[in-house]
Amino acid sequence: MRSYDLHVDLSRTGEPGFRSRSTIRFTCARPGASSWADALPRRVRSAVLNGRPVEYDGAGRIPLPDLAARNELTVEADYDFSTGGEGLHRFTDPADEQVYVYSHLQPGHAPRVFACFDQPDLKAPFEISVTAPDGWTVLSNAPPGHPPVAGVHRFAATPPISTYLVAVAAGPWASWTADQAGAVPLGVHSRRSLATHLDPDVLLERLRQGVAFFAEAFATPYPFRKLDLCFVPEFNFGAMENAACVFAAETFVFDRAVTRYAHRRR
């Protein structure tokens, strides 16, 4: 694997789905061999391998015949939002009708968002961009490369990561950050209607302590350029440690008195 360029278009807020375009650059040890890419779209708009069109089989695979030593595959497709926390989950806050979107790509679900080789050991750098409505904050695995232009948020390239660790969270998040010279930039995020129930200073300090603890315990510096913690609605796990962009269930945001055990578990 050489690289992924991934663009996710969330600008069609009135539609039940979204569009993504992934460009995969990869090598083949035996030129002339065949393989496939994984994809689970509603509709493939185009799939082009090394300048020639290829066909989606309708069952989760895009066949890749007669591979060269170096290859480029670009797939643009329409996908459905999830309501079960798999793929790209869309949530409308009943408190204020604000919309939030986040990914959950544990192995098997990345093809619900973009065409890829969904095999955890096939790691590659990702350059991710997202088109989002005005007023939305977009989070991903790397810091923004540039300020948004015409609704497009572009992020710096990641180190090589597995497809299931790719993260996108978009919406009008309430956000708090800590960015001190020489320290890993930190961020805490939640939907706006829960903002009054968070103690961001405590959470940011816990993140700082965690980064320092594991760097010392493993004698390895933290390998990413920032760390975000985002509390997401209707999450079907306790948390998912996406690279540099951790998603945690809102059950860890206490909007009422809870037991000492609940605090300890958090």
Return the exposure string of 143-179: e unless at least 16 CB atoms fall within 10 Å of the residue's CB, then b.
beeeebeeeebbbbbbeebbbbbbbbbbbbbbbbebe
In a domain, 50, yes or no: no
| Per-residue model confidence (pLDDT) at position 181 | 82
What is the average pLDDT score of the chain? 95
* pLDDT 10s digits, 38-93: 999 999 999 999 999 999 999 999 999 999 999 999 999 999 999 888 999 999 99
Q: How confident is the model at residue 151 (pLDDT cuts 50, 70, 90)?
A: very high
In a domain, 158, yes or no: yes
The Cα 112–Cα 9 span in angstroms is 14
Over pLDDT 90: what percentage of the chain? Answer: 89
In a domain, 133, yes or no: yes
| Per-residue model confidence (pLDDT) at position 221 | 95
| Per-residue model confidence (pLDDT) at position 266 | 80
| CA angle (219 as vertex; 216, 220 as ends), nearest 5 | 105
Domain that holds residue 161: 81-265
Indicate the number of domains in the chain. Answer: 1
Contact 256, 263 (CB under 8 A): no
| Per-residue model confidence (pLDDT) at position 1 | 82
- pTM, entire model: 0.94
In a domain, 54, yes or no: no
In a domain, 97, yes or no: yes
Side by side, the strands of the sheet bearing 168-171 are 87-92, 99-104, 168-171, 137-140
| Per-residue model confidence (pLDDT) at position 96 | 96
CA 186, distance to chain mean position in Å, is: 17
Return the exposure string of 62-72: e unless at least 16 CB atoms fall within 10 Å of the residue's CB, then b.
bebeebeeebb
In a domain, 1, yes or no: no
What is the rounded average pLDDT of the residues 229-256?
95
- Neighbouring C-beta atoms of residue 26, cutoff 10 Å: 19
| Per-residue model confidence (pLDDT) at position 217 | 98
| Per-residue model confidence (pLDDT) at position 18 | 97
CATH number at residue 248: 3.30.2010.30
Say if residue 22 is exposed, middle or buried (CB neighbours under 10 Å; 0-12, 13-18, 19+): buried
* pLDDT 10s digits, 232-243: 999 998 999 999
Kind and range of the H or E element at 215?
Answer: helix 200-217
* pLDDT 10s digits, 113-136: 999 999 999 999 999 999 999 999
| Per-residue model confidence (pLDDT) at position 124 | 98
In a domain, 40, yes or no: no
In a domain, 165, yes or no: yes
